[in-house]
Amino acid sequence: MEFDLTHAHHQVRENARIFATDHILPSASHNDQAEIFPHQILDTLGPTGMMTPTLPREIGGLGTDFIGEALIFEEIGKACSSVRTILSVHNSLCALTILQWGTDHQKERYLPALAGGKILGCFALTEFTAGSHATQQNLLAKRSVDHWILSGQKAWVSSGSEANLCLLFAQTDPQKGYRGITAFLIPTDTPGFHAVKVSGKTGLRAAHTAHLTLEDVEVSDEQLLGDIGEGFKIAMSALDNGRFGVAAGCLGQAQACLEASIAYARDRQSFGKPLAGHQLVQGMLADMAVQTETSRLLVYQAAHLKNKGVPNTYQTSMAKLHATETAVTVARLAVQLHGAAGYTNEYPVERHLRDALATTIYEGTSQIQKLIIGRHLTGQSAFA
Ligand code: COS
């Protein structure tokens, strides 16, 4: 594995850092408090190609590789995990899945618009009774002459109330279990498609989450993504990309909390010297740094495998598990190190702590990641 970044990677990171500093960070706290979905930021981000980092330049992406994507998501995650969440769903779960599984017509129709930020994508797999147990899909797609009629509900869909295009999974043949699940591409303005924003979230408050209800939504065969019955495999392949983006964003959150803590510890005086001179504070910073750097290595390892196009579910789950749990631990230590001030929105660390809590739950909980890792190590499935 190559540890040095190329000149192009440095450039990608610098551009992402400048964008995040100039356009994302200034409104991150306000958008969080007021629950404002950052449409303006996305409008500015679209033309840069950074909304879909690995898509080719010809169709509006940035044309970088997965290390480049990790660098962008790290920089954006440092500034605002809500924006990074929106991008993870848009790029990793929606656009990249269309790139991998779509027909030429679907790619031509959707990818340039997704890449340029002209439309926003979301991903609807979870249901009220199908979270970790994702094979238990209840939303039904029934065949009717030459089209499909979809009815049922989806839960906890990131960007569900804001997106224009929904990659949605439905049961087309309940007798076949997960082999009866099929993926559909559905414009959210299709009659019968309803989204209701969830309120009262602890964190990621600028990244709106919605519950969806589909009432006899009519969908054509052209809107199938992949073949009938291939949906679960498509969902799992999408999550290999999604979990990677989450891990990279959480690396950014941990890095932000570490940097904020170092700055605070150097500045703040206690017992006649800077906090940074106290042994227990140095111990906290050392723990934060080691955990953060371990996340970085795991994210880069997963990126390296993705660049080679080889299976990476095991390494991606390790990166997701470690980086999300680390973001929580490091943000928690950062709040502690900042003392009472860290418990207010005067500093960004409390926002990072609230935001990080969601990342150990969405796109597969930490417990699910451990069971995927355990299955890889033992050959035994705890899900069977
Ligand atoms: N890429 C492509 N195909 C995959 C895959 C992957 N990463 N992982 C599994 N598959 C395929 C398998 O090959 C299998 O297909 P075949 O039977 O044709 O061989 C099929 O998918 C079923 O796989 P598996 O046996 O692993 O399914 P399980 O029921 O054991 O999966 C877990 C269990 C828990 C891993 C899965 O349900 C899961 O990831 N749950 C969490 C869901 C989640 O993250 N939800 C959040 C949604 S987004 S907020």
pLDDT tens-digit series, residues 141-172 = 999 999 999 999 999 999 999 999 999 999 99
Is the distance from the beta carbon of residue 313 to the nearest atom of ligand 1 less than 6 Å?
Answer: yes
Q: Delineate the domains of the chain, giving CATH numbers in brackets.
A: 7-115 (1.10.540.10), 121-232 (2.40.110.10), 239-378 (1.20.140.10)
For range 13-25, the mean pLDDT: 98
Is the distance from the beta carbon of residue 16 to the nearest atom of ligand 1 less than 6 Å?
Answer: no
Is the distance from the beta carbon of residue 237 to the nearest atom of ligand 1 less than 6 Å?
Answer: yes
Is the distance from the beta carbon of residue 185 to the nearest atom of ligand 1 less than 6 Å?
Answer: no
- Substitution site in 236, 244, 321, 362 for ligand 1 pocket (most atoms within 8 Å of beta carbon): 236
Please report the atom of ligand 1 found closest to the CA of residue 134: 37
Is the distance from the beta carbon of residue 368 to the nearest atom of ligand 1 less than 6 Å?
Answer: yes
pLDDT for 384? 82
pLDDT for 310? 97
Higher pLDDT, 313 or 383: 313
The answer on pLDDT for 23 being more than 90 is: yes
pLDDT for 353? 98
In the residue annotation, 363 being an active-site residue is answered as yes
Which residue's alpha carbon is at the smallest distance from atom 19 of ligand 1? 233
What are the tens digits of pLDDT across the range 294-310? 999 999 999 999 999 99
What are the tens digits of pLDDT across the range 84-93? 999 999 999 9
Q: Using a pLDDT cut of 90, give the percent of the chain over it.
A: 98
The Cα–Cα gap between 58 and 60 comes to 6
pLDDT for 223? 98
Residue 188 CA to ligand 1 center (angstroms) comes to 26
Strand bridging mode 209-220 / 147-158 = antiparallel
Nearest one of 159, 178, 156 to 169, comparing CA atoms: 178
- Quickly count: other Cβ atoms within 10 Å of residue 275's Cβ: 23
Q: Using a pLDDT cut of 70, give the percent of the chain over it.
A: 100
Q: For residues 158 and 86, is the Cβ–Cβ distance under 8 A?
A: yes
Strand bridging mode 181-187 / 193-197 = unpaired
The answer on pLDDT for 1 being more than 80 is: no
For range 354-364, the mean pLDDT: 98
Residue 2: which pLDDT band, with cuts at 50, 70 and 90? confident
Residue 23 CA to ligand 1 center (angstroms) comes to 37
For range 222-250, the mean pLDDT: 98
Question: What pTM does this model have?
Answer: 0.97
Strand bridging mode 193-197 / 209-220 = antiparallel
For range 256-263, the mean pLDDT: 98
The Cα–Cα gap between 194 and 174 comes to 24
The answer on pLDDT for 69 being more than 90 is: yes
Compute the mean pLDDT over every residue in the chain, rounded to the nearest whole number.
97
Which residue's alpha carbon is at the smallest distance from atom 1 of ligand 1? 237
Please report the atom of ligand 1 found closest to the CA of residue 381: 30
Is the distance from the beta carbon of residue 236 to the nearest atom of ligand 1 less than 6 Å?
Answer: yes
Residue 355 CA to ligand 1 center (angstroms) comes to 26
Residue 381: which pLDDT band, with cuts at 50, 70 and 90? very high
pLDDT for 324? 99
Residue 134: which pLDDT band, with cuts at 50, 70 and 90? very high
Residue 44 CA to ligand 1 center (angstroms) comes to 35
Is the distance from the beta carbon of residue 193 to the nearest atom of ligand 1 less than 6 Å?
Answer: no
Nearest one of 163, 202, 316 to 250, comparing CA atoms: 316
Strand bridging mode 273-274 / 181-187 = unpaired
The answer on pLDDT for 210 being more than 90 is: yes
- Quickly count: other Cβ atoms within 10 Å of residue 145's Cβ: 5
Is the distance from the beta carbon of residue 100 to the nearest atom of ligand 1 less than 6 Å?
Answer: no
Is residue 11 classed exposed, middle or buried when 0-12, 13-18 and 19+ CB atoms within 10 A define those classes? middle
Q: How many residues does the chain have?
A: 384
Nearest one of 178, 235, 207, 265 to 24, comparing CA atoms: 207
For range 182-202, the mean pLDDT: 98
- Substitution site in 127, 158, 233 for ligand 1 pocket (most atoms within 8 Å of beta carbon): 233
For range 61-82, the mean pLDDT: 98
All residues at 6 or more sequence positions from 276 whose CB lies less than 8 Å from its CB, including other chains: 262, 265, 266, 282, 285
pLDDT for 205? 98
Is the distance from the beta carbon of residue 148 to the nearest atom of ligand 1 less than 6 Å?
Answer: no
